[in-house]
């Protein structure tokens, strides 16, 4: 079981959350100008490191708010959280 520390509700079971993917992925400035390959790369290609990784999480069964967390993918330890305004 992974305990995820919600910034508003405190530590909760991972079953209460929805994974939102890699954090800090910038939306393209002009998506219409992208080729199909560039658009596919934006939509589907993400980093997959071993170690620290910034992720987006939504507390769907609780406060329903989004936040970013830095999780160590080797240990599943949540090392930091960032509130999304």
Contacts of 34 (CB under 8 A, 6+ apart): 28, 42
- The single residue listed with the structure tokens 């406060």 is 63
- The single residue listed with the structure tokens 């620290």 is 52
- Phi, psi angle pair for 15, to nearest 5°: -65, -20
Tell whether the model's pLDDT for residue 46 goes beyond 80: yes
pLDDT in tens, 13-23: 999 999 999 99
Tell whether the model's pLDDT for residue 84 goes beyond 90: no
pLDDT in tens, 50-75: 999 999 999 999 999 999 999 999 99
Domains and CATH numbers, the chain: 3-27+47-83 (3.30.2270.10)
Residue 28 DSSP class:
P
Note the Cα 26 to chain centre separation in Å. Answer: 13
Tell whether the model's pLDDT for residue 85 goes beyond 70: no
pLDDT confidence bin for 80, thresholds 50/70/90: confident
């Amino acid at each position: 079981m992974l305990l995820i520390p919600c910034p508003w509700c405190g530590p909760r079971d991972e079953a209460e959350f929805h994974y939102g993917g890699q954090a800090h992925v910038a939306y393209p400035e002009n998506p219409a100008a992208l080729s199909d390959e560039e658009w596919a790369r934006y939509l589907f290609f993400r980093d997959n490191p071993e170690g620290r990784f910034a992720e987006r999480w939504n507390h769907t069964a609780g406060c329903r708010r989004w936040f970013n967390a830095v999780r160590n993918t080797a240990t599943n330890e949540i090392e930091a959280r960032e509130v999304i305004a």
